[in-house]
Amino acid sequence: MSERAGRLVTVHSGPDGYAAFVPAPLPPDPPLSIDDRLQSLLDEANQALGRLDAVTLLLPDPAQFLYSYIRKEAVLSSQIEGTQSSLSDLLLFENEAIPGAPLDDVEETSNYIAAMSLGLSRIASGELPLSNRLLREVHARLMHGVRGGDQAPGKFRRSQNWLGGTRPGNARFVPPPAPEVQPAMSDLERFLHDASAPILVKAALAHAQFETIHPFLDGNGRVGRLLITLLLTSERVLQQPLLYLSLYFKQHRDTYYERLQAVRIHGAWEEWLAFFLEGVVTVAGSATETARRIRALVDRDREAIHGLGRGAASALRVHELAGRRIVLSSRVAATELGLSVPTVNAALGRLEAAGILREATGRRRGRLYVYDDYLQLLQAEQ
């Protein structure tokens, strides 16, 4: 065990005893060694973020892209925790339709969106900075009314948890004992406000430290991934919260856990940072390309709608809403657009005839229309 990583503490003794890990405060000591390779990765990651930030400004409606991209992230982050819900399931659920996945799974995914929105709004409004108090609020919203909701939502744990195994004594990893959680999280909070650390370095180290502390009884993985987004937006690195590493962590799950464990055992912060930065480069590049493709799709479809003649104006408005929601009912569209239901139904019929939307239910009542091409672009990376 490297002193740079932290220390093991013995909890109890005898057959029920175990050793728990207490991480050393950030930043690492000795300091990070940023060699040429790491510096090159850091530069590349910052450039990738810059391109992502720039391309969103070119979108006809950045909020439109954000709405759908946040939902994609919610699905991926929840899938890492074992849920089976897809983006289509979530969108059906939000339109009060029956999803194909278990309802509990979809509700957990929906809660992730609510928790993220809460954190982002609190920061954007200036009501609350990125802090332990905010993380506790986010956690409470995440766990509200779903599995694990009885595990002290919004409160740092007061009992031991562990990763893998059936008890701490045979676990793969045992986070700090409960009395060490609050001091460790206070140290982490101070690091979050350390202006001397480059933001991507800070995000990488803070995420790993949070996952090691595992301060809640449940939901740590999702809050730890949200921490990255909240940190980047609070530092104004991105105008829109569009960098999500859940897909990268999911695709490289084994390496992700190996790098985290190497930090805990060997203090291998540089290797973890390299992995994290490679993820930023990959994910930012993919998101940038997706944004460009969506812009091209929306422009193509708008051009087609302009050629519809009579009724094009209302069809354009419904199309714009479909780009935000992806799955749409006439009732929702009429309410949000301030149009009559017959006008919306006529517009939906025109968009379906033009091959832009697809009616998904086959019913005469309670129909749902899907913006298939948009949905496929979002799902292509999964």
Q: What is the pLDDT of residues 58-83, one digit of tens each?
A: 776 777 677 777 887 777 777 777 66
Task: Output the pLDDT for position 104.
Answer: 66
The region that residue 126 occupies, defined by phi over 0 for left and psi between -120 and 50 for alpha, beta otherwise, is left
**CATH 2.60.40.1930 matches 307-379:** no
Question: What string of DSSP letters covers 241-265?
Answer: -----HHHHHHTHHHHHHHHHHHHH
Please answer whether residues 107 and 146 qualify as being in contact, where contact means their C-beta atoms are separated by less than 8 angstroms.
yes
pLDDT score of 304: 95
The answer to whether the CB of 228 falls within 8 A of the CB of 283 is no
CA distances from 253 to 2, 81, 144, 248, 256 (A): 24, 12, 27, 8, 5
Q: Hey, what are 371's tokens?
A: 């913006």
- The pLDDT of residue 40: 97
Question: Whole-model pTM?
Answer: 0.89
Q: Please, what sign has the CA dihedral across residues 79, 83, 88, 94? A: negative
CATH 3.40.50.11540 fits 6-289, yes or no: no
pLDDT, averaged across the chain:
88
The tens digit of pLDDT for each residue in 220-268 reads 999 999 999 999 999 988 878 888 898 899 899 999 999 999 999 999 9
The stretches in the chain having pLDDT less than 70 are: 1, 13-14, 60, 64, 82-85, 93, 96-104, 147-150, 381-382
Terminal Cα-to-Cα distance of the chain (whole angstroms): 37
Alpha-carbon span 72 to 91, nearest angstrom:
10
- Give the separation between CA 3 and CA 174, rounded to whole angstroms: 17
Q: In the chain, what are the domain boundaries?
A: 6-289, 307-379
Q: Which residues contact 29 (CB under 8 A, 6 or more apart)?
A: 4
